[in-house]
Chains A and B, each alone.
Chain A
Amino acid sequence: DTGVSQDPRHKITKRGQNVTFRCDPISEHNRLYWYRQTLGQGPEFLTYFQNEAQLEKSRLLSDRFSAERPKGSFSTLEIQRTEQGDSAMYLCASSSGFPTNEKLFFGSGTQLSVL
């Protein structure tokens, strides 16, 4: 499968613990996005990378969230001191090509449950 892969598929954690998710984009894609989705809502933008550079980060994102994309390949999203409100599906997407014609390819997501 050469699509976007995310690991783990599911994560259950206790409030206050740190969690880290991984996203492996399609290999030739230079753009990578992280989104959060809760039930009944559309994907909410978290952050965006162009190669290894983090170009945009949502103002809604607290300092407990951090993302990296070393060497412009895979990316990790870390949430420190998790809260129950962090429970959501975390989606990763990658793309390439001219921005006006952009096509995002999504992973299956990581479902986080904070108890």
Chain B
Amino acid sequence: AQRVTQPEKLLSVFKGAPVELKCNYSYSGSPELFWYVQYSRQRLQLLLRHISRESIKGFTADLNKGETSFHLKKPFAQEEDSAMYYCAHRPLDMRFGAGTRLTVKP
């Protein structure tokens, strides 16, 4: 089945440290991949799309077809990055991974 997998439920880093949230996908062809974020007491919202090759709030995500991964990275984590992060893909409609809770400690 086509799906995305986020192997880490929890991730904790110190402020200023690099952070990488992992996402692996399990289908062939050209994937349509996204990262969504949910800050405390806020709605789930789009962070970035792989097709846009954008950097949002210092985050980037590179599609690696060889490793079938779409990991989210930021070189220097900030406390305000603490949130739930969901990797998502769009075979026909939008499907989400289980999420990773990122905590950035001061």
Min C-beta distance of B103 to chain A, whole Å? 15
Is B25's beta carbon under 8 Å from chain A?
Answer: no
Given contacts A40-B9, A100-B90, A106-B44, contact A45 B95 (CB under 8 A): yes
Given contacts A41-B99, A55-B93, contact A101 B43 (CB under 8 A): no
Residues of A close to B99: CB separation below 8 A: 41-42
> How many residues belonging to A are interface residues under a CB distance threshold of 8 Å?
25
Contact at A45–B51, with CB atoms within 8 Å? no
When A43-B96, A100-B51, A101-B52 are in contact, do A106 and B45 touch as well, CB less than 8 Å? yes
B46→A99 contact, CB < 8 A: no
Chain A residue contacts of B90, Cβ below 8 A? 99-100, 102
- List 6 additional contacts besides A44-B96, A45-B95, A104-B36; criterion CB under 8 Å: A40-B98, A42-B97, A45-B94, A55-B93, A101-B52, A106-B45
Q: Provide a sorted-by-A list of 18 A–B residue pairs whose CB atoms are within 8 angstroms.
A: A3-B43, A35-B96, A40-B98, A41-B99, A42-B86, A42-B99, A43-B44, A45-B94, A45-B96, A91-B44, A100-B51, A100-B90, A102-B49, A102-B94, A104-B36, A105-B45, A106-B44, A108-B43
